Structure 1
Amino acid sequence: MKRRKKFGSLVLSTFLAGLIPADAQHPPGTRAAATAYVAPVYKPLPLGAVKPQGWLKHQLEIMRDGTTGHLDEVYDKVKKDNGWLGGKGDGWEETPYWLDGAVPLAYLLDDKNLQEKVLRYINWTLQHQRTSGYFGPLTKSERENNIPVGVSNAADGEDWWPKMIMLKVLQQYYTATNDARVIPFMTKYFNYQLQTLKACPLGKWTEWAASRGSENIMIAQWLYSITKDKKLLELASLLESQAFTWSNWLGNRNWVIGAAARQNEQHWMRRHGVNVGMGLKSPALNYQRTGNKKYLQDLHTGFTDIMNLHGLPMGVFSADEDLHGNAPTQGTELCAIVESMFSLEEIIAITGDPAYMDALERMTFNALPTQTTDDYNNKQYFQIANQVHIKRGVFNFSLPFDRGMTNVLGMRSGYTCCLANMHQGWTKFASHLWYATAGNGLAALTYSPGEVTARVGKNNTQITIREVTAYPFEEQVVFNLDMPQPAAFPLELRIPAWCTEATVILNGEKLRTAGGGQLITVNRTWHNRDQLTLQLPMQVTTSNWGGNSRTIERGPIVYALKLGERWEKEQDAAEGDYFNVYPKGDWNYGIPEKVIQAPARYLQVTAVKPVTADFVWNLEHAPVTITTTGKKIEEWKVTEDVAPQPITDRHGLYKGKVNQQEDVITLVPYGCTKVRIVAFPVVK
């Protein structure tokens, strides 16, 4: 993220439709001011209750051994004289960004060395809160005048924004440890905010705090759920009144249409993809605080519109850095992906809506893994859906960057915010696989291998459920229960919208079937060694995306043309080592119309290798392939670094010159690719 100065279908349409009463209204003359707190449908479990296993655990171990576990050793901005340790170095967002992923990683893996490392920053923060409640690195004024920031001299403080991230870090740390220092620390800080925000509003120092006020609101409302201090709801309403009006913008279609039509300096912070990703949770938070269901409608309308106008096949919206339409040549910033994932995790808890669970899986299993190297030491600032090469260049980005480094794979590769922030994606996904339910039960809302330990039932019996699966590549999820005594509790399972009919099997006997796009509950007295199996048949389908392109899907995975990869290592004086990646083979294929009309007939699915514990998201480990035929479009070529989508007619067909020979082509999971075509033109 560049610190700029302040300036004065599609798929989701279907599975988000019809969720909220149309006649619900905002309270007249207010912006979420009324308070009628609504408890979340699902409660996130304490950090560490979920322990990833299999391929997901391996992914986290790679991160621990790579930059997530060692950023403070390899990145000078975090390494040298860090402001969050009392020094004069980084005192803004990048250290808290890193901790926002490193802290959950430390407790998910129960890694004592990493826990000790992150505790240095947590302890310094907790131990150096000012008497007034203000916290964070020493300010310029404090260093020069030796006067701590207080209520009377609040203007001597510094930007609210990085403190919002550190609050998220402390929240996660508290759920893992129950450290008694955290709740009083937050209470004191929020009292300070309540006393000073009118004199020093969110936008006083930068627009980043105003654009991301939902992060502050979220923690204030989380603390309210613990202490029941009504001043916290008062503070949340005040913060909302000073923050960007995301709920109104998401509910008012003029904003998202304007973002598609205009790419200029005017109101660019409203189009900034990372801001949008964070802002998605704002309507859900307003609903949580007020009970007004109109905010859920705002969320539904806005998310659907964003994905219709700016959505890309891998489940994210264009964000290069701004919202930039739905052409498959647009880019998406890595920060926008991980922040959108976290917003969806919060939205899921508050609303209990399975549509957002589907959206989270699509984003996680497709967009997230492709944007980093296998060792998690290099990343792209922007990925592209139809990415026919990775190289230096300007491409078609709204923020092209003067060194042309935003598309390459490097440790820095563009702005360094993503180097610090990329660590929360997998870690928070892993910690949010399971939630607690209102009936002292558990809910498995997204699926991956792991285990959860929690207390359930009226007697708070501690149990462990081991989730054994090769999902998202295979169709079966098995839950093995380990418990000291029988316990009655509800176990909720999500049936994805893409699944026509799921089957639930209990101890080898068919229990029930269920259609897609819903949550089901198995409420019974459970016994030790019970085994519940969820079968989710995956059919091959196609979906329609920008420029009348088509994407091939199976389950939560989208599939892209398999292209061999030629990697070239280069070096930049300012950014260090980086990689270009070029395709081995032709990429300019169209999909015959017959494949779109009868995908089950013309798309051949093959499980080529098992998903083992050492799985990595790359071509070598791709567990499933889909073969079909394609026709080469010789005139489809690279122009100004991108492959502009061939023009089609209103029937979605490319009418230009096409080779008549049909070649066999192979597709692999999008997340296993670096260069690819995922949005195909359709040919006769």
Structure 2
Amino acid sequence: MKNIFSLTLISAVLSVSVAAQSPKPVPEKYRELPLSAIKPTGWLRNQLQIMRDGTTGHLDEVHPKIGNDNGWLGGKGDAWEETPYWLDGAVPLAYLLDDKPLQQKVKKYIDWVIDNQRPSGYFGAMTKDEREKNVKVDVANCASGDDWWPKMVMLKVIQQYYSATNDPRVIPFMTKYFRYQLQALKSCPVGKWTEWATSRGTDNVMMAQWLYGMTGDKSLLELASLIESQSFPWSDWLGNRDWVIGAAAQQNEEHWMRRHAVNVGMALKAPAINYQRTGDPNYLKSLKTGFNDLMTLHGLPMGIFSGDEDLHGNDPTQGVELCAIVESMYSLEKIIGITGDPHYMDALERMTFNALPTQTTDDYNAKQYFQIANQVHVKRGVFNFSLPFGREMNNVFGMRSGYTCCLANMHQGWTKFAAHLWYATPDKGLAALAYSPNNVTAKVGAKNTDVTIRETTRYPFEEGIQLELATASSVQFPLHLRIPSWCRKATVAVNGETVQTPEGGKVIVLNRTWKNGDKVTLNFPMAVSTSNWGRNSRAVERGPLVYALKLEETWEKETEKDEGDYFNVFPKGDWNYGLVDKIVKDPAANLDVKTVKPVTDSFIWNLQNAPIEIRASAKKIPGWKIVNDVAPQPVTDRNGHFVGKVDEKVETITLVPYGCTKVRVVAFPVVK
């Protein structure tokens, strides 16, 4: 069964039998491709292979919480979120890489879940009442079931598996479960067991609406509306500035779940999901308002909002949880498909190429719970986090640093980004909405002709992208191409002939008859610039990348019985520099960009592989020192200048892509 979401939704919109008060679903602007359609190549494939060889492919072997007597395999072990979290990244990885052993590993969990669905439709690990009282979980005694929340994640896992395999068991499985849930929620509401389910109900709504797109069963829209009514009203909050202002002002225990950054990252897609179901454009206004306010009050230079764990303002010394990054990325990927708005495409790339790679080790076996924008060292400590942890383990690199939710959840970041490089279009074409090396194969045009597009690029480091088409016969179809907003004017050529020179911030369409071997070349000139951030700091940017001070690193490995192995990272050189003000006044004339090494297929996001360096003039600020484990941003005047004592000597500092660093300064004070 193929995805008929767009056709079903259009039919629902046009149907005269739908009552006036009924939701009026709208089709996506762009439709997700099957999981098997996109095959990463180049450095992106290498990143996924590292994950396969590391914790993504072997978490069940190295993380006892998942490996021991797993509840999702019928045991008495983990029956909550960590196993579904892991599978939510491991399943797409298995099919993106065509890795048969990993496919078999993840499939045993999916098989157990599907094969052990209860007659009522309920699914999941065996509950306490089932084990101890031999009670059958059904609508009449839904209280003998368990938390709705982890099932929301497992539904995402099974949906991705279906996208890759078309397993005929999936649609009946989901249909049966959602029929159970529609009735059970009336006496066992979303928040019966945990507030996590209440705060994250959008993921449940999203999956009900996905199944509606497959089957057209209108009871699924009723279910989606019911779940939404029992969950946190994120769409209202995002559209109402009182929420984000309150989150900025309050760091107490009251209402902390609505400030929890992972909840917020998941909730970003709520207005888009609700718009998809109802067609109400006010939801899109709420999304625009909420995302803008969130990034204004809490945004950090690497493209993510603070959240350590709560939203915590825009000071460059605030942290952000790894789970918040990967969940925000996924929300943006869903928002892009529903709205087609290039603003969110830019936001996705900025977050992916800056915030994501810096928070894991090269081998993908250890992670930071919280990263900091201006991170002048990585070590045990309390720091200035809203959740400081008496264990002092939130900032180090380790498997058990912070909570292990991120150890399980970090795997969806790169995998889902790779799976959303391309989308299908309503006009039977293809859309490249984010860029990285890959091959995509899909059916296009009036006759559903197979076409493969090979994307060759060293983006985001270099300006050029080449798309080469392979098709057995000529075929007419539209090719949608995103032009990033940071690009002032792009060049688009077909077979060497320039066909468009569009400005940034839009999606252009090349609608023509394509033949085998046709080549589309995109050039996005990457000018250097500076941007303003918290406490009047400045960050240096080029293309989709933010650049940070290059500091040679000293890694120290430590081990403790309860914490396992972990790493501290310290800088070898001085970090307390301010950028001279001429850089802000004229970045192009005063920043020197150098390509220092090629981006190869074996590229890893680390200091040794950083391919681009930017030389900048700077002066030391002697009084800028570490206080309580962070480097508080120096005070500046309203003109943006630090007015304290500054060394007279002008030095040349080197900046590298933020994603290649572990210790750094990215938000610089400005000095005269």
Q: Does 1:84 align with 2:84?
A: no
Q: Does 1:493 align with 2:481?
A: yes
Q: Equivalent residues in 2 for 1:439-458 (5 A)?
A: 439-458=427-446
**What secondary structure, in the 3-state scheme, does the structure 1 residue paired with 2:453 have?**
strand
Question: Counterpart amino acid of 1:38?
Answer: V
**What secondary structure, in the 3-state scheme, does the structure 2 residue paired with 1:297 have?**
helix
Q: 2:409 and 2:553 mapped to 1: Cα distance?
A: 27
Q: Does 1:138 align with 2:126?
A: yes
Q: 1:78 and 1:350 mapped to 2: Cα distance?
A: 34
Q: Equivalent residues in 2 for 1:373-412 (5 A)?
A: 373-412=361-400
Q: 1:574 and 1:312 mapped to 2: Cα distance?
A: 32
Answer whether contact 1:549 1:680 (CA < 8 A) is retained. Answer: yes
Answer whether contact 1:330 1:384 (CA < 8 A) is retained. Answer: yes
Q: Does 1:149 align with 2:172?
A: no
Match of 1:318 in 2: 306
Q: Deviations over 1:420-439 (max 9, x none)?
A: 00000000000000000001
**Pairing partner for 1:569 from 549, 557, 567:** 557
Q: Deviations over 1:131-152 (max 9, x none)?
A: 0000000000000111221111
Q: Equivalent residues in 2 for 1:282-681 (5 A)?
A: 282-681=270-669
Q: 2:266 and 2:21 mapped to 1: Cα distance?
A: 21
Q: 2:186 and 2:382 mapped to 1: Cα distance?
A: 42
Answer whether contact 1:348 1:354 (CA < 8 A) is retained. Answer: yes
Match of 1:259 in 2: 247
Match of 2:237 in 1: 249
**What secondary structure, in the 3-state scheme, does the structure 2 residue paired with 1:501 have?**
coil
Q: Deviations over 1:355-377 (max 9, x none)?
A: 00000000000000000000000
Q: 2:82 and 2:652 mapped to 1: Cα distance?
A: 46
Question: Counterpart amino acid of 2:182?
Answer: L
Q: 2:22 and 2:572 mapped to 1: Cα distance?
A: 59
Question: Counterpart amino acid of 2:120?
Answer: S
Match of 1:161 in 2: 149
**Pairing partner for 1:106 from 68, 76, 94:** 94
**Pairing partner for 1:269 from 257, 275, 288:** 257
Q: Deviations over 1:346-405 (max 9, x none)?
A: 000000000000000000000000000000000000000000000000001000111000
Answer whether contact 1:453 1:463 (CA < 8 A) is retained. Answer: yes
Q: 2:431 and 2:583 mapped to 1: Cα distance?
A: 38
Q: 1:266 and 1:198 mapped to 2: Cα distance?
A: 28
Displacement of 1:33 in angstroms is 7.9
Question: Counterpart amino acid of 1:225?
Answer: G
**What secondary structure, in the 3-state scheme, does the structure 2 residue paired with 1:152 have?**
helix
Answer whether contact 1:345 1:360 (CA < 8 A) is retained. Answer: yes
Match of 2:9 in 1: none
Displacement of 1:554 in angstroms is 0.2
Q: 1:416 and 1:245 mapped to 2: Cα distance?
A: 28
**What secondary structure, in the 3-state scheme, does the structure 1 residue paired with 2:356 have?**
helix
Count of aligned residue pairs for this structure pair: 653
Match of 2:6 in 1: none
Match of 1:171 in 2: 159
Question: Counterpart amino acid of 2:210?
Answer: W
Match of 2:208 in 1: 220
TM-score by length of 2: 0.97
Q: Deviations over 1:61-103 (max 9, x none)?
A: 0000000000000110000000000000000000000000000
Answer whether contact 1:33 1:237 (CA < 8 A) is retained. Answer: no
Percent pairwise identity: 70
Answer whether contact 2:66 2:83 (CA < 8 A) is retained. Answer: yes
Answer whether contact 1:170 1:182 (CA < 8 A) is retained. Answer: yes
Question: Counterpart amino acid of 2:115?
Answer: Q
Question: Counterpart amino acid of 1:171?
Answer: Q
Q: Which runs of 5+ in 1 are unaligned?
A: 1-31
Q: 2:424 and 2:21 mapped to 1: Cα distance?
A: 29
Q: Deviations over 1:269-327 (max 9, x none)?
A: 00000000000000001100000000000000000000000000000000100000000
Q: 1:595 and 1:349 mapped to 2: Cα distance?
A: 38
Match of 2:37 in 1: 49
Answer whether contact 2:135 2:144 (CA < 8 A) is retained. Answer: no
Q: Deviations over 1:528-550 (max 9, x none)?
A: 00000011000000000000000
Question: Counterpart amino acid of 1:39?
Answer: P
| Backbone CA RMSD of aligned residues | 0.8
Q: Does 1:190 align with 2:178?
A: yes
Q: 2:49 and 2:57 mapped to 1: Cα distance?
A: 9
Q: 2:639 and 2:242 mapped to 1: Cα distance?
A: 28
Q: 1:512 and 1:52 mapped to 2: Cα distance?
A: 27
Question: Counterpart amino acid of 1:662?
Answer: V
**What secondary structure, in the 3-state scheme, does the structure 2 residue paired with 1:606 have?**
strand
Answer whether contact 1:33 1:290 (CA < 8 A) is retained. Answer: no
Displacement of 1:34 in angstroms is 4.3
Q: 1:188 and 1:114 mapped to 2: Cα distance?
A: 28
Answer whether contact 1:54 1:449 (CA < 8 A) is retained. Answer: yes
Question: Counterpart amino acid of 2:518?
Answer: D
TM-score by length of 1: 0.95
Q: 2:41 and 2:473 mapped to 1: Cα distance?
A: 25
Match of 2:60 in 1: 72
The runs of 4+ residues in structure 1 deviating greater than 2 Å are none
Question: Counterpart amino acid of 2:339?
Answer: T
Q: 2:155 and 2:32 mapped to 1: Cα distance?
A: 17
**What secondary structure, in the 3-state scheme, does the structure 1 residue paired with 2:378 have?**
coil
Q: 2:643 and 2:560 mapped to 1: Cα distance?
A: 43
Q: 2:560 and 2:240 mapped to 1: Cα distance?
A: 44
Q: Deviations over 1:407-459 (max 9, x none)?
A: 00001111000000000000000000000000110000000000100000001
**Pairing partner for 2:194 from 198, 206, 209:** 206
Match of 1:96 in 2: 84
Q: 1:416 to 1:262 in 2, by over 3 A?
A: same
Q: Which runs of 5+ in 2 are unaligned?
A: 1-19
Answer whether contact 1:284 1:350 (CA < 8 A) is retained. Answer: yes
Displacement of 1:486 in angstroms is 0.3
Q: 1:147 and 1:158 mapped to 2: Cα distance?
A: 13
Question: Counterpart amino acid of 1:98?
Answer: W
Q: 1:156 and 1:676 mapped to 2: Cα distance?
A: 51
Q: 2:581 and 2:36 mapped to 1: Cα distance?
A: 49
Question: Counterpart amino acid of 2:420?
Answer: H
